[in-house]
Amino acid sequence: MNKYRIINPNNNIVREYLSTLSLCKAKKSRTTGFVYYNMHRNPFIISLFFLLYVLYFSEYNRVYSQNNSYLPTRFIDNTFFSTGIGGQTYLSEHYRSGNIEDHISPEININVGKFSDNNILGLRLGFARSRARGYNLSTSYYVHPSKIGEGSYIMEFDYFNIYANLLFNFQSYYYDANPYRIYELVPYIGIGWFGVLKDGIDRSEPSINAGIINQFKITDNFYIDLELKGVIIRSVIDGNPRKFVNIPASAILALRYKFTPHSKYRRNFKVIFK
């Protein structure tokens, strides 16, 4: 039985290390160019060789993947802005009065924000503009003189809401960030300032904002957002203190543009062990 073992000459790390230690006898074939080492000389040599080969194999048998690597390097990366339009309904004490269409009006939203590099947390600043329509008591500041029903008057006023929201990407937190994902669910909560517009800002109140954004990816930069949200304000905003809070609720369809990392940054690989 041949006591020599062949070593591939391409394994430079193993060959040079063994030669440096001078722990085993070696000879080179004149025909093939392969180097032969005497591995029966010492059990320690066999163990050392095995350890080195495992290290060599692990070094060159890594999996290089782009799918889970998204490493922005510029400040503008993951910054976005969006604009959308939808419908709004003003939930108040007299919401059951009249028909459902009497409580619905259009709403416009403008937003700008930024997500973290791992796409889990984000901050968004926004502006909403709409008109509250419904019914209220005669004591309300914004009712029309025409009476509808018993004790209910048509109410209507324009308003705005300026807000700051903390966004949480559900998929990125539980399943890691993936720039190729088509759909993502983003709940949020925030605070804002709600104001009634009548010859300027007539009345204003702090507001609490909460909602869910359904993000649908179109391209690397463009997304369609379907947002369902509510704004909680004190009912004194419309002159009816009997109810504790009012909730303008909205459904918004928005187009969002996101600054994605430049292609040379997206080509950075994340190294993971197989």
**Domain ranges in the chain?**
4-62, 79-263
pLDDT one digit per residue (tens) for the chain, 274 residues:
444 444 454 555 455 544 544 445 555 556 655 555 554 555 556 666 665 565 555 444 444 444 444 455 678 889 999 999 999 999 887 777 778 888 899 999 999 999 988 889 999 999 999 999 888 877 778 887 766 655 678 888 999 999 999 999 998 898 887 888 999 999 999 999 999 998 888 889 999 999 999 999 999 899 999 999 999 999 888 877 666 889 999 999 999 999 986 544 444 444 443 3
pTM here is 0.66
Burial class (CB in 10 A: 0-12, 13-18, 19+), 165: buried
What is the pLDDT at residue 269? 45
Q: In CATH, what is the architecture of 79-263?
A: Beta Barrel (2.40)
Query: 259 vs 8, 202, 256, CA distance in Å?
Result: 49, 38, 10
SS3 of 17-38: the string is HHHHHCCCCEEECCCCCCEEEE
What is the pLDDT at residue 26? 55
Supply 266's token pair: 């997206």
**Helix intervals (H) in the chain:** 12-21, 43-60, 170-175, 263-266
Ramachandran angles phi, psi of 179, nearest 5°: -70, -10
> Measured between alpha carbons, how far is 226 from 86 in angstroms, rounded to an integer?
9
What is the pLDDT at residue 22? 47
Ramachandran angles phi, psi of 137, nearest 5°: -75, 165
What is the pLDDT at residue 46? 64
Which of 160, 152, 165, 96 shows the shortest CA–CA distance to 127? 160
> Measured between alpha carbons, how far is 118 from 136 in angstroms, rounded to an integer?
47
Angular region, 54: left φ>0, alpha ψ -120 to 50, beta rest: alpha
Residues sharing a CB contact under 8 Å with residue 64, sequence separation 6 or more, in sequence order: 269, 270, 271
